[in-house]
Amino acid sequence: MVESPDIDILARSELFRGVPADVLRQLQATSFRRKFAAGETVFQQEDTVTTCYVVAVGRLRVTQSTLDGQQIIIRYLGPGDVVGYAALTGGEVHPGAVTAVDDSHLIGMPAAVLREAMTRHAAIAINAAALLGQRYRDLQLRLRELATEKVERRIAHTLLRLAQQAGRRTARGVEIAFPLSRQDLAEMTGTTLHTVSRTLSGWEGRGIIDSGRRRVVIAKPGALTEVAEEG
Amino acid sequence: MVESPDIDILARSELFRGVPADVLRQLQATSFRRKFAAGETVFQQEDTVTTCYVVAVGRLRVTQSTLDGQQIIIRYLGPGDVVGYAALTGGEVHPGAVTAVDDSHLIGMPAAVLREAMTRHAAIAINAAALLGQRYRDLQLRLRELATEKVERRIAHTLLRLAQQAGRRTARGVEIAFPLSRQDLAEMTGTTLHTVSRTLSGWEGRGIIDSGRRRVVIAKPGALTEVAEEG
DNA sequence: CACGGTCTTTGCGCCAACGCAAATAACCAG
DNA sequence: CTGGTTATTTGCGTTGGCGCAAAGACCGTG
């Protein structure tokens, strides 16, 4: 019997790294694959936690909304990332919503099974703590940025971070490898799409970036870094 | 032999809740108490992680600074809270600085011992994941608040949150039970001490709060909630 | 009880960024 | 190719909150 490719993906994921193959095989018995088309929702904010996913392929967006419809983007998720971290912490409901921004394949498993596996195999629980700590640290950084930096710098930093985690080298420069609108950038930086548009237009004029409809290519990463760091 | 009071504190802490007493006794063999006077620093940002603490008594402040001295307050820690979460995630350095704002007693233990205990007792690792998840969720909320709400509301929300976690009922109202300056509130809400001062003055005039030098009493929590929720 | 240090208050001018509005521009479905 | 939908750009007036500056209040200490 051929080893399932899913085992391979899990073995490389942030949550199951270093976990023995036989444990993964057991987990895989209750796991399943699920596809989400771009734009489809994986779960809504406040949904009850039933399933935990690991991204096989694709890209998803985590958002958090207020009652009156205001929304911010918490982070983007890509291959190997956990979708629905609440399952790791024993949370009852999802604190944010997750939507696919590209066609995506997720490997899902029941939250109860995962919780049980964590009690049995400390390595998984330790990985969970590590990945949550990583996300927490990222958020601390963004909070500080939002509190202390001006809009232009925030946008610059955000683009550089996105390039780092989902950049693709092309002839023109580093392209953000998923659809990213002005509105999206606004929701990541705590500003409005108008201000983002004006800022990007400015950079476009200086040849720093090359952008279009839901598309951003960083032509001169060095220049963008300069904007982000000083002046 | 009398059971040490530290065991009791640990058993009730967010990290060691539900962990068998004999495991705690083992951990306590390498643990020690340390006092910090108000104003003293437990560790600096970027310090190497060597020790993990649990707060026995007191109150501490976690901050994050930029190179140019800008700083924000990430959170306050009180009895039962973990100080130096990086030890739980395998981090090499502390991502933030911790300072005592009141005289405090901490129970410390070597990070390596704690890490080892996590691998041996999944319950500790699971608690670690839970508490990190809680902090992450709190930060998501603050990020959204900072990104979408105006200063006055942010300050109102912040005060209400502080009252929740460290409020003390008095004749005049709910008092924040540790020294809290205008500057501190500014660093929690992403604004300046001037704006905080003006805002508090306004509320003071309306009888909503009663504040002084590094001291805030919420006289009318209901009115403050109203400010926080709707205009 | 006077002094120095730390907090807090308040006035004033200014500007980054918002909010509104309206004109493109790009994409999609049929 | 055409009409409809979704994204982007840009202009213009407004303003919340910053930055600077100076005065006043409070506190611990010698």
Residue A231 has pLDDT above 70, yes or no: no
Q: Rounded CA gap, A161 and A152, in Å?
A: 14
Average pLDDT over residues B212-227: 97
Beta bridge partners of B104: B36
* B189 CB-side CA count, 13 A: 29
Tell me what pLDDT residue A3 has.
Answer: 59
**A214 to chain B, minimum CA–CA distance in Å?**
22
Percentage, residues of chain B above pLDDT 70: 98
pLDDT (tens digit per residue) in A159-218:
999 999 999 999 999 999 999 999 999 999 999 999 999 999 999 999 999 999 999 999
pLDDT (tens digit per residue) in B115-171:
999 999 999 999 999 999 999 999 999 999 999 999 999 999 999 999 999 999 999
Measured between beta carbons, the chain B residues lying within 8 angstroms of A183 are none
- What Å value separates CA B183 and C1' D8? 40
Beta bridge partners of B176: B167
Average pLDDT over residues A4-20: 93
Contact B91 A133 (CB under 8 A): yes
Question: Which of A62, A132, A187 is the best residue to mutate to test the B interface, defined by the most B CB atoms within 10 Å of its own CB?
Answer: A132
CA angle A124, A127, A129 (to 5 degrees): 110
Q: Which nucleotide lies nearest residue A213, CA to C1'?
A: D7
Contact A95 B66 (CB under 8 A): no
Q: Is any atom of nucleic acid chain D found less than 7 Å from the CB of residue B70?
A: no
**A13 to chain B, minimum CA–CA distance in Å?**
16
Tell me what pLDDT residue B74 has.
Answer: 98
Residue A43 has pLDDT above 70, yes or no: yes
Q: Is any atom of nucleic acid chain D found less than 7 Å from the CB of residue A168?
A: no
Tell me what pLDDT residue B231 has.
Answer: 54
Q: Is any atom of nucleic acid chain D found less than 7 Å from the CB of residue A71?
A: no
Measured between beta carbons, the chain A residues lying within 8 angstroms of B88 are 129, 133
pLDDT category, A1, cuts 50, 70, 90? very low
Average pLDDT over residues A27-45: 95
Average pLDDT over residues B75-93: 97
The structure tokens listed for A170 are 């092309």
Task: Concatenate the DSSP letters of all residues of chain A into one string.
Answer: -PPPHHHHHHHHSTTTTT--HHHHHHHHHT-EEEEE-TT-EEE-TTPBP-EEEEEEES-EEEEEE-TTS-EEEEEEE-TT-EE-THHHHT-SB-SSEEEESS-EEEEEEEHHHHHHHHHH-HHHHHHHHHHHHHHHHHHHHHHHHHHHS-HHHHHHHHHHHHHHHHEEE-SSSEEESS---HHHHHHHHTS-HHHHHHHHHHHHHTTSEEEETTEEEES-HHHHHHHHH--
**Closest residue of chain A to B126, computed from CA coordinates:** A125
Q: Which nucleotide lies nearest residue B190, CA to C1'?
A: D17
Q: Is any atom of nucleic acid chain D found less than 7 Å from the CB of residue B151?
A: yes
Mean per-residue pLDDT of chain A: 96
Contact B143 A72 (CB under 8 A): yes
* A162 CB-side CA count, 13 A: 30
Tell me what pLDDT residue A154 has.
Answer: 98
- What Å value separates CA B194 and C1' D30? 33
Report the b/e string of B191-228 with b at 16+ CB within 10 A. beeebbbebbeebeeeebbbbeeeebbbbbbebbeebb
Percentage, residues of chain A above pLDDT 90: 95
As ranges, strand D nucleotides with an atom below 7 A of a protein CB are: 7-11, 16-21, 26-27
pLDDT (tens digit per residue) in A57-89:
999 999 999 988 899 999 999 999 999 999 999
- What Å value separates CA B26 and C1' D30? 50
Tell me what pLDDT residue B68 has.
Answer: 85
Of B72, B130, B144, the CB nearest to A72: B144
* Residues 183-212 of chain B in contact with strand D via CB under 7 angstroms: 190-192, 194-195, 212
pTM for the full predicted model: 0.96
Of B122, B128, B146, the CB nearest to A119: B122
**Closest residue of chain B to A62, computed from CA coordinates:** B140
The dihedrals phi and psi of B30, each to the nearest 5 degrees, come to -105, 5
pLDDT (tens digit per residue) in A135-155:
999 999 999 999 999 999 999
Q: Give which of B88, B75, B60 is closest to A139, Cα–Cα.
A: B75
**Closest residue of chain B to A74, computed from CA coordinates:** B140
Q: Which residues of A touch B (CB under 8 A)?
A: 64, 66, 70, 72, 74, 85-86, 88-91, 95-96, 118-123, 125-126, 128-130, 132-137, 139-144, 146-148, 187, 189-190
